[in-house]
């Protein structure tokens, strides 16, 4: 049976040693009074809920799955009760606006909490997972009436939210959406169409489900410029905002999937369903991007969570499993063989997981902190700077972390050998669950195209230069610290290569647009490594300082050793990817379609 223990030491290292969030939040008046003791207490309670309430349901959900009959979805045993406790203990409202019943805590806190919930049970966590995105979209674009009706219930967790984009004939290309919205003489609109792959689109855990739906008005222009967004509740609220009559929105079926069996992935049929427009006509994609970007960060957190849980079990197994002797002589002479953790290749697999997980935690928490700055900092310039960084790095967070998360769960299964392939040990479930995250909320290829085409080339690299300036500032600050040369010298070299590479891609793309598509995926990997290398250099600096100050906590020695492993064994991938990009699009586009 798999186990999960919230990694409080590593979480606290990122929050307090690396990011120094108590000091950082002082500049945001809404969070100025939040101290480290309170923050740790909140996370400790979240960890207990994750490990004691949600994690025991992980294999139950995988084994039972959801059941569907006559439009009704029944979730696995224990899911509904766990959600009731989740609502009663106030977790849905954590970082929401107090005006609507929220606790007003930083988004950073929500980020750390969601990591632990995803480690415990990704399928269960996905039921409330999109509710926060629906809340954010309605906060940004809803009418005052929509906010008053929907936000208090989403914040309380009484209602959950979904995002209805995909149709059978179109996934990423939302310009092909066919769902129609016609003005209703009685008010609002009537929506007709079918959406697919709707996570938590139907379930028995909350009294209402609030669907945010993309559809076309009759006179809408073609393509993405003709999409509007509508709020379509499962039950239509009455005048007092209570659940009223059933709307004409039904679950037609649920998908049978490779993983996340405990979450209902639904076909949603709208048969003249009543809805109300959110935002402006034909500008629904702009409104939906609030929810989509939040979901992309959320999917990155799902992979971080799964990778952490899988790593913990692989590490424990490697310490216990006896197999052969160390190449340098017995390490456990009192036993018939040595534990497999003594073998170099097992250590390679464990250290790869550890390096990717701990850098991802630093990266995602830093993004959470920048979201807080973007949303609530009193200085407009600080808000704008943070917004640019979040915009640039959202596709990197989603794509790089989910790629690495899948690799990490696969390595965890490999550490178990044949036992990793056996269901009862839980490793193969982590692999299956992690695989969807590379596809969800825009495949990682789409994330790569978004990064290179929209976030870098479209603004002549302005945001990327801003990130580079932050990293360069860190590098310069270490100039008088010889011990940091092993980190900052390779980082500085890579940063210079990225600058030259970006210019090269831009020039090639002016001659042949296919060059952008050919370069996009390896380019995302390169930028991911730049970010991870930056955070590992920062963590190494913190660890050196603590060790020199006489700190005996082994966490600091562990951070320094893992930073060195990352730089030696994982960062070189960036150079390979740069060489791959420079080969150009020719070899990819040479074959005619019939020649494949």
**Model pLDDT for residues 37-63, shown as the tens digit of each residue:** 999 999 999 999 999 999 999 999 999
Contact assessment for residue 345 and residue 388, using Cβ atoms and an 8 Å cutoff: no
Distances (CA, A) of 245 to 102, 208, 209, 242: 27, 11, 13, 10
Distances (CA, A) of 562 to 136, 350, 390, 489, 536: 37, 10, 26, 17, 8
Distance CA 107, CA 56 (A): 27
In this prediction, residue 401 carries a pLDDT of 98
In this prediction, residue 173 carries a pLDDT of 87
**For residue 355, is pLDDT > 90?**
yes
Element (H, E) at 60: helix 58-64
Helices (H), 436-589: 444-449, 462-477, 485-511, 514-548, 554-565, 573-582, 586-589
The residues, any chain, with a CB within 8 Å of residue 219's CB and separated by 6 or more, are none
Contact assessment for residue 561 and residue 380, using Cβ atoms and an 8 Å cutoff: no
239 compared with 594, residue with greater pLDDT? 594
The neighbour count for residue 369, using CB atoms within 10 Å, is 21
Averaged pLDDT, 430-447: 97
Contact assessment for residue 411 and residue 391, using Cβ atoms and an 8 Å cutoff: no
The residues, any chain, with a CB within 8 Å of residue 595's CB and separated by 6 or more, are none
Distance CA 235, CA 237 (A): 6
In this prediction, residue 172 carries a pLDDT of 85
Averaged pLDDT, 460-478: 97
Element (H, E) at 228: strand 228-233
The neighbour count for residue 531, using CB atoms within 10 Å, is 21
- Among candidates 3, 78, 31, which has minimal Cα distance to 368? 31
Q: What's the DSSP call for residue 255?
A: -
Averaged pLDDT, 339-360: 98
Averaged pLDDT, 121-145: 95
User: pLDDT tier at 307 (50, 70, 90 boundaries)?
Assistant: very high
**For residue 480, is pLDDT > 90?**
no
> Could you read off the pLDDT of 547-557 as tens digits, one per residue?
999 999 999 99
In this prediction, residue 438 carries a pLDDT of 98
Mean pLDDT for the chain overall:
97
Distance CA 152, CA 101 (A): 6
**For residue 214, is pLDDT > 90?**
yes
Averaged pLDDT, 572-594: 97
Contact assessment for residue 563 and residue 543, using Cβ atoms and an 8 Å cutoff: yes
In this prediction, residue 239 carries a pLDDT of 79
In this prediction, residue 496 carries a pLDDT of 98
Q: Could you please report the per-residue DSSP string of 434-452?
A: HHGGGTTTS-HHHHHHIII
The residues, any chain, with a CB within 8 Å of residue 333's CB and separated by 6 or more, are none
In this prediction, residue 37 carries a pLDDT of 97
What does the radius of gyration of the chain's CA atoms come to, in whole angstroms?
Answer: 24
Averaged pLDDT, 483-504: 98
Distance CA 156, CA 102 (A): 8
**For residue 241, is pLDDT > 90?**
no
Share of the chain above pLDDT 70, in %: 100
Q: Which two structure tokens, joined as six digits, stand for 299? A: 């999917």
In this prediction, residue 447 carries a pLDDT of 98
Q: Is 441 a known active-site residue?
A: yes
Q: What is the dihedral of CA 450, 451, 457, 458, to 10 degrees?
A: 50
> Could you read off the pLDDT of 12-43 as tens digits, one per residue?
999 999 999 999 999 999 999 999 999 999 99
Distance CA 274, CA 231 (A): 9
User: pLDDT tier at 175 (50, 70, 90 boundaries)?
Assistant: confident
User: pLDDT tier at 171 (50, 70, 90 boundaries)?
Assistant: confident
Averaged pLDDT, 328-342: 96
Q: How big, in percent rounded to 5, are the helix, strand and coil portions of the chain?
A: 65, 15, 25
Q: Which residue among the candidates 308, 374, 428, 441 is catalytic per the annotation? A: 441
**For residue 287, is pLDDT > 90?**
no
Q: What is the torsional sign of CA 364, 89, 83, 60?
A: positive
Largest CA distance in the chain: 84
Distances (CA, A) of 198 to 166, 175, 245, 279, 431: 8, 18, 22, 22, 21
Element (H, E) at 383: helix 380-415
In this prediction, residue 289 carries a pLDDT of 87
The residues, any chain, with a CB within 8 Å of residue 211's CB and separated by 6 or more, are 161, 162, 164, 198, 201, 231, 232, 233, 234, 249, 268
The pTM of this model reads 0.98
Look at strands 180-183 and 189-199 and give their pairing: antiparallel
């Amino acid at each position: 049976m798999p186990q999960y223990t919230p990694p409080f030491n590593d979480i606290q290292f990122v929050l307090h040693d690396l990011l120094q969030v108590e000091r950082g939040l002082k500049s945001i008046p809404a969070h100025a009074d939040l101290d480290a003791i309170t923050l740790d207490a909140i996370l400790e309670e979240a960890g207990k809920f994750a490990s004691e309430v949600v994690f025991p349901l992980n294999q139950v959900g995988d084994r039972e799955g959801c059941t569907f009959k006559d439009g009704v979805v029944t979730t696995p045993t224990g899911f509904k009760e766990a959600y009731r406790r989740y609502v009663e203990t106030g977790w849905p409202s954590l970082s929401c606006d107090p005006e609507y019943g929220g606790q007003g805590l930083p988004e950073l806190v929500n980020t750390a909490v969601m990591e632990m919930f995803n480690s415990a049970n990704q399928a269960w966590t996905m039921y409330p997972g999109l509710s926060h995105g629906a809340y954010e979209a309605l906060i940004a674009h809803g009418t005052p009436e929509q906010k008053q009706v929907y936000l208090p219930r989403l914040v309380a967790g009484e209602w959950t939210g979904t995002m209805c984009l995909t149709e059978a004939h179109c996934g990423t290309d939302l310009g092909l959406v066919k769902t129609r919205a016609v003005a209703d003489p009685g008010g609002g609109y009537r929506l007709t169409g079918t959406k697919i792959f709707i996570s938590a689109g139907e379930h028995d855990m909350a009294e209402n489900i609030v669907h945010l739906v993309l559809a076309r008005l009759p006179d809408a222009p073609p393509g993405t410029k003709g999409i509007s967004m509508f709020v379509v509740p499962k039950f239509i609220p009455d005048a007092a905002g209570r659940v009223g009559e059933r709307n004409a929105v039904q679950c037609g079926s649920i998908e049978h999937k490779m993983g996340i069996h405990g979450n209902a992935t639904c076909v949603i049929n709208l048969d003249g369903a009543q809805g109300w427009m959110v935002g402006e006509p034909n500008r629904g994609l702009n409104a939906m991007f609030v929810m989509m970007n939040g979901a992309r960060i959320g999917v990155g957190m799902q992979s971080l969570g799964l990778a952490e849980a899988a790593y913990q079990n692989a590490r424990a197994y490697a310490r216990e499993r006896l197999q052969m002797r160390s190449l340098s002589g017995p390490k456990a002479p009192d036993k018939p063989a040595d534990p497999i953790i003594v073998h170099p290749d097992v250590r390679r697999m464990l250290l790869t997981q550890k390096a990717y997980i701990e850098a991802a935690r630093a990266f995602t928490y830093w993004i959470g902190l920048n979201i807080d700055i973007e949303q609530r900092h009193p200085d407009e310039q600080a808000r704008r700077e943070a917004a640019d960084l979040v915009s640039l790095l959202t596709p990197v967070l989603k794509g790089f972390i989910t790629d690495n998360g899948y690799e990490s769960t696969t390595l965890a299964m490999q550490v178990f050998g044949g036992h990793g392939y056996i269901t009862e040990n839980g490793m193969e479930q982590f692999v299956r669950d992690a695989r969807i995250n590379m596809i969800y909320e825009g495949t990682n290829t789409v994330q790569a195209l978004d990064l290179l085409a929209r976030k870098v080339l479209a603004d002549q690299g302005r945001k990327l230069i801003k990130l580079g300036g932050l990293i360069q500032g860190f590098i310069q600050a270490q100039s008088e610290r010889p011990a940091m040369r092993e980190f900052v010298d390779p980082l500085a070299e890579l940063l210079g290569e990225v600058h030259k590479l970006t210019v090269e891609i831009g020039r090639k793309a002016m001659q042949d647009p296919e060059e952008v598509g050919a370069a996009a995926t390896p380019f995302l990997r390169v930028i991911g490594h730049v970010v991870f290398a930056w955070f590992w250099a920062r963590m190494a600096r913190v660890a050196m300082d603590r060790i020199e100050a006489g700190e005996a906590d082994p966490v600091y020695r562990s951070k320094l050793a893992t930073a060195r492993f990352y730089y030696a064994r994982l960062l070189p991938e960036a150079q390979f990817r740069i060489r791959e990009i420079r080969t150009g699009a020719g070899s990819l586009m040479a074959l005619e379609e019939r020649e494949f």
